[in-house]
Homo-oligomer: A and B are copies of this chain.
Amino acid sequence: MNKRQQSAQNTRKKLIQAALKLLKEKGFKAINVEEITKEAGVAKGTFYIYFKRKEDIISEYSRYPFKEIADELKNKQDTNLIDRLTHYFYRFMECVEFHGINICREWIKDVIDPNNINNSQDGQKWVYDFEMLKEILENAVQNNELKKDTPIELLTHLIISQLYGMMTCWCMSDGKFEPLDWSDKFCKIQLNSILKEFLI
């Protein structure tokens, strides 16, 4: 990577960080391109070198953190299923807490918005999350961690619903509870009681 490319990479990073900073403070609807570029210390037009539309900057923080966490879950085969899922929930909520409540709000608006790029075809994001978790549970069946007759789709649905429910409630409560604490409590009570009868 030469100097030019480095500097471009840098500008891109500055824009994303500026957007993130403002997002944390205000939320997406409340900020505009001019503010982002001002915060980043570049000209308005520069934004459009890196992002085709204003919305496109969301995809930078919307897809990736969760994808990484899911990959982590797939690769972690050393512990039992409940521990793995608990870890998944923990990492998920850690990420949520790290990015802060305003960005979490944007994520939710993002995943429920049918006009959003990441979600433009029939609940893409939902399908993605669903398939990903289903695979985990299917593997658990094959590894003899779960019984053969486990209602996998149903459990997948329940677990994802629980995850997004936590996020929605956290935002709704305006941050009244600690995401990580609750993630643990949720797992201990819910995951255990739901999975109990299907575990071998």
Are A166 and B173 within 8 A (Cβ)? no
User: What 0/1 readout, one digit per residue, does chain A (163-175) give for beta carbons within 8 Å of chain B?
Assistant: 1111111011111
Number of copies: 4
Are B173 and A123 within 8 A (Cβ)? yes
Question: Distance (Å) between the CB of A8 and the closest chain B CB?
Answer: 14
Question: Distance (Å) between the CB of A93 and the closest chain B CB?
Answer: 12
Give residues of chain A (140-178) contacting chain B, Cβ–Cβ below 8 Å. Answer: 154, 157-158, 160-169, 171-177
Report the Cα distance A152→B174, complex, angstroms: 21
Task: Indicate the member of A160, A162, A163 with the most B CB atoms within 10 Å.
Answer: A162
Report the Cα distance A186→B158, complex, angstroms: 7
A112 CB contacts on chain B under 8 angstroms: 105, 108-109, 168, 171-172
Binds B, one of A11-19, A73-81, A187-195: A187-195
Are B126 and A176 within 8 A (Cβ)? yes
User: What 0/1 readout, one digit per residue, does chain A (74-95) give for beta carbons within 8 Å of chain B?
Assistant: 0000000000000000000000
Question: Distance (Å) between the CB of A85 and the closest chain B CB?
Answer: 15
A111 within 8 A of B: yes
Residues on A facing B (Cβ under 8 Å): 105, 108-109, 111-114, 119, 122-123, 125-127, 130, 154, 157-158, 160-169, 171-177, 182, 185-186, 189-190, 193-194, 196-197
Interface pairs (15), CB distance under 8 Å: A105-B113, A108-B112, A109-B112, A112-B168, A119-B172, A123-B174, A157-B177, A158-B190, A161-B168, A161-B169, A164-B168, A164-B172, A165-B166, A190-B190, A190-B194
Q: In the complex, given contacts A111-B172, A161-B168, what are 15 additional A-B residue pairs having Cβ atoms less than 8 angstroms apart?
A: A108-B112, A109-B109, A112-B168, A112-B172, A119-B172, A123-B174, A123-B175, A126-B174, A157-B182, A157-B185, A161-B166, A162-B165, A164-B172, A189-B194, A190-B190
